[in-house]
Amino acid sequence: VPTNLRGFEPVHDGRCVTLFSASNYCGTTGNFGGVIIFEANLSFEIQEYMAPSLEEIQMLHSETCAATQKVFLQTRIKYLEMQAKRQHRRTAAARMNEQIIEKICKMICEKKTDLWWCFFNMGAESGRVTPAQWREACANVLGRNFPWVYLMKRLHVVEEDGYVYYNEFLNRYRVEFRPPKCKHLNWRRECIARVFESIMSADLSLKETLMLFDRNCDGTVSFREFNELITELDVGLSEPQVRILMRLITASPAFNAAAGSIDVAEFLGRFRVVYSHVINDDKRSVPWLQRALHCIGKAILADKAEAANRHYEQQRQDGNLGPDLNTRRRSSAVRAVALFQKFKDYNEGGDGYLSYADFVTGIKRLTIDEEELGFALTDEHLYKVAEAVDTTGSKRINYLEFLQAFHVVDSNSNNSAAEELWGQICTAIFQHKSSIRRALHQFDPDMTGKVDSEDFRSALVTVNTVLSRTEAPLTEEQIDQLVNTMDLNNEGMVEYEEFLDSFSPVDTFFLQPGGEDEPSKTSNGPQNGKETLEETDASPTDNEVASNSRRFTLSSTLSQSA
């Protein structure tokens, strides 16, 4: 221990310096420690340090750890704050992008027709536009404040060939009606059925049907002719719905953009009835009849190319060439044209109608696959088929009935007239949902979300009256159909909040497959090769349980024979 308790002790007149380490000798005494720091010229400096007591060491250690932890926490807090800000910016940006996508989806659903006309004026001949044209059209119709370059990539609108096919793009967007527990589904069927039944039920001859649409008898249907017809006929369509029908015609590959018209046979095929309609009450959907229609339809269309060629050859002789014949032969319109020609072939009397005898004679010329059918078709069977095809009950078959029964409906097609018209109705209700809700609140002051059916109808009629004819969500007939098919709760009331919340815009491009309704499949028939003509009740499908009407699908069962 240094005598002076310092960290060093000089001896021999300063010629020797002893350095000590700091120690507290277990707390009994203590001395400093020392170090010598030499400079380059060998001069030196002695520095001392001390060894504190254990209590002081513990206190200093605690203070040092606390100070270190404080610095660490401050650094960590700043880091976490920066991370949170970055995450918030990313989340906010993602949320904003999703809100933009939802807004765009809603706007496209509401302005689909305007957007289509803008695209059509840019690429009427090809059905496609460039990415620059797509951005320009969207900016003109939907607004210039959206990031269209980003949205073009985000929405995956450009195909591999570098073009945007605007019909496919627009068909992605629709307002869907998804009521809980599958309520009110009958309304969709009833709402669309009226559009076509007014023409079919008129029971016109083939010549009258052609003259109804082709008023100047040039073999084609123009915009003007179609618009005049729809305006004159009471088909239960609002003006926006009429414009949709016109848009669908121009979207057809058979449309001649240069001439502004479409071949009348192809037009009627496109205008065909694509819904399950109500037949006579004394007829019921029986399995053998469905299979017979399916097999007969396949046999009729077995030589569809040859039958269509005969029609086009007659058109060429009459000077109505229209689009290139080779293009026509590759188009889906060949089926409709073939049926048009076959109807004329079967019409023995030339009066534009098929008598039951004409129908039976024509079908007996065909080669029916009786193995697939499951039994041998007799004349009695064929007369029963003729009665089923004759939905008007006139004891004869008009062309539209024939077309409806045997036109093969493309099961992959999502842009049929019925789908588009139904989409417009859903879009109109969604667009005016707030106005409809406010009108319903007048009959529901306690905001229970329920009104009786008559008040529900009055509210919808009031909204239609207030809005202009071009903006009215529904026609009065569609309102009546809705009220008549609404499912009521246990109290006999309409739960309107539930109904209004069932409409939502979607982009089907981002939907997972397998969620769409699929057409019901029919049985392959008995194994013993025999079939009775007795009409028995068929088991209803899931979609038919809610309906009290007897329904019979004449065309959907043919979808697999395309």
Binned at pLDDT 50, 70 and 90, residue 454 comes out as confident
Beta bridge partners of 33: 49
Q: Give the mean model confidence (pLDDT) for residues 133-154.
A: 91
- Lowest mean pLDDT across 187-191, 241-245, 278-282, 434-438: 278-282
Residues of the chain with pLDDT > 70, as a percent, come to: 67
Q: Summarize pLDDT for 386-399 with one digit per residue, the tens.
A: 998 888 888 999 88
Token representation of residue 470 = 């071009």
Whether the CB-CB separation of 22 and 56 falls below 8 Å is answered with no
Q: Give the mean model confidence (pLDDT) for residues 105-131.
A: 84
CB neighbour list of residue 537: distance below 8 Å, 6 or more residues apart:
284
- Other Cβ atoms within 10 Å of 279 Cβ, number: 21
Q: Summarize pLDDT for 267-292 with one digit per residue, the tens.
A: 676 655 333 333 333 444 678 888 88
Whether the predicted pLDDT of 524 surpasses 80: no
CA distance 251 to 261: 12
What is the structure's pLDDT at 545? 33
CA distance 359 to 356: 5
Whether the CB-CB separation of 322 and 259 falls below 8 Å is answered with yes
Q: What is the pTM of this model?
A: 0.48
Burial of 520 (0-12, 13-18, 19+ CB in 10 A): middle
Q: Which fold has domain 197-270?
A: Recoverin; domain 1 (1.10.238)
Whether the predicted pLDDT of 552 surpasses 70: no
Binned at pLDDT 50, 70 and 90, residue 183 comes out as low
The CA–CA distances, whole Å, from 3 to 31, 386, 403, 456, 548 equal: 9, 132, 124, 109, 117
DSSP H helices, 271-390, are: 287-300, 304-317, 325-330, 333-346, 356-364, 370-373, 379-389
Q: Give the mean model confidence (pLDDT) for residues 165-192.
A: 73
Token representation of residue 193 = 């059925």
For the chain, the structural domain boundaries read 8-51, 197-270, 287-414+523-561, 420-510
Q: Tell me whether the CATH fold assigned to 197-270 matches the one assigned to 420-510.
A: yes
Whether the predicted pLDDT of 442 surpasses 60: yes
What is the structure's pLDDT at 358? 92
State in words which class domain 420-510 has.
mainly alpha
Residue with tokens 């969207």: 138
- Other Cβ atoms within 10 Å of 407 Cβ, number: 24
Binned at pLDDT 50, 70 and 90, residue 216 comes out as confident
